[in-house]
Chains A and B, each alone.
Chain A
Amino acid sequence: MINQNTEKEIKILAIESSCDETAAAVVVNGRDVRSNVISSQIDLHTLYGGVVPEIASRKHIEKINQVIEEALSKAEMTLDDIDAIAVTYGPGLVGALLVGVAEAKAISFARNIPLIGVHHIEGHISANYIENKDLEPPFLCLVVSGGHTHLVRVADYGKYEILGRTRDDAAGEAFDKVARAIGLGYPGGPKIEKISHEGNPDAIAFPRAKVGDGVYDFSFSGLKSAVLNYLNGCKMKDIEINQADVAASFQKSVTDVLVEHAMHAIDEYQMDKFAIAGGVASNATLRKAMEEACAKKGVKFYHPSPILCTDNAAMIGAAGYYDYLAGKRAGLDLNAVPNLKLGE
């Protein structure tokens, strides 16, 4: 007799609104993305040099239905086909998260569709499942974005151990701040990466920040200060600043620290698979450095395409699928939790 449980396709409608991207996706069985719609607000926030929470929240409410409808129609499905709704409920900007959460709950209630609350970082990690059908836990994952820098051991689906995290600025945040300081503007990541191609990464010796007690913890505010000091020094001595050299040297410093910590953890935990995730994971220099370091150790390296590195809902659908299989369900009282911890 055919087991219907294993035969049935699980179709998940996923919603993500934790920061400045309004996104919805339809994902089948966690890895088959049928649609992935992202409405970015980045141009709006550029004017302010960073994401303005109230503006982000206002934009989410204006876009959310359109984005969901588009995700369903691109997947050639209606709500009748959907088995569960997965929504990001933290961490992130509370006002922004609340839009997605309230919307998801209302749809879940009106159509009696099970609801799953997904952790945003869990989503980023799970983005790797989408294009790498062979990837299964256990593996090590480095999540680097504008808001997060986490080194995570993925013990099993939905089981995470945080080995290290940033003590101050997230890696992406450091990119934004340095980009602003050298006059490149917002968002910093892509702009620094682009100009770095023309610069010498060994031109300036910026520090590789160490954190005393936490072996795998990161600190990027010291590096940011070193860059600012260097810029001030140049100004005082009337030395012309080479933007490309500063950008390339800064980028190398960040990359070196991330690679070193990751490789150290791979050795200690004897992992044979390593993945990166989050917005900064689309940085080609970082990807290349990780790939080479992994190759030396014979460790298999995974990374999502840039479109799945940035905030998106397909990754929430991927994570939500494994939560669904584990029987996790959220109630109609699901709230947004801006500082939600991984593994809670």
Chain B
Amino acid sequence: MAKRVGLEVSVAVGDAAKLADVDVVAAYPITPQTHIVEHLAELVANGELRAAYIPVESEHSAMSACLGASAVGARTFTATASQGLELMHEVLYVASALRLPIVMAVVNRALSAPISIWCDHSDAMAVRDSGWIQMFVENGQEAVDNVICAFRIGEDRRVLLPVMIHLDGFSLSHVIEPIILPEQSEVARFLPPYDPPLPLDPEKPVTVGAFAPPFIYTEVKWAQEMTLEGAKEVILECWREFANTFGRHYSPVESYRTEGAKVLLMTMGSLSETAMVAVDKMRDEGKEVGLIKLRLWRPFPFAELRQAVRDAEVLIVLDRALSFGGPGGPVCSEVKAALYREARRPEVVGFVGGLGGRDISMADFEEMVNQGIKLAEAGSEREFEIFGVRE
């Protein structure tokens, strides 16, 4: 029987990689991700995890080592954050285009300058178009469960893509909370060994990722796009199977107390939990407010999002990243694009907040809802509002 224990979320993420029986971990430590790879290094050193731990000199090398490991058919895991993810940037595109099902925990942290070690989603947004499957989790249990799911999804023959699990730095990664770690035997049944279709083999040398002249490059990219889009069905299938096996349910877009809600708040990541408490309070006061939580970021769940927000009058989207000189928050502009062709759609109000670890409390969410309703009624010349800024 799986036991409920008090664990630091980072340690639990490392344990999830162990439960997935990874073969190779190549990583470079960076705050606030360090505890994950420290824990994995310890498990390997203690002989509790039979895997190769490759210490490297940078994140660029970490992801490059992951490419090689995954290409020979090893189940491969890494973790990073912020500047580390940016340093990996060019290699990320290679991983997805070579169809290598690497799993990476990204412990979200703001980007420099000025240096901030605290959470926002700027790092995730900068790699939005890298071709990886990407999801955001809101608590430690979701992080553990989805690291396990990520291998099953990524390694599926219909997918063969790398997966990023985004978890908020500090406000999630460094919290000790109750987590149920599944039994190794249960995970082994749920997650069969990786069976790579075309592993690199010195006996049968091949070249991968070679030169693509204009006559074929477009076709390669279109195939990649169709695969990523098609991955959604496999993700849904995996989450259904996960629920059947472990009893915990996941979906691309989650609705919380949205019945009859005229106003919807939308969040991504660990702030969703604080927002739930705020929604409970507003509901108790008789306000018709609900919450939409976006879990799957790539492939973007267009149909599920449209369905979830169709009856609302106002949709208030909170982004934890800025698109400089652009339309505000990347999530909000995605949501607007998804609703553009809808005949009936809510008025969308975008807020950018929680940058560089700025706290968003329950009272802040109430304030955001009140401001959002006013802006929706009065209309605004601005594309977005920056929440709580001192001007």
**Do A and B bind?**
no
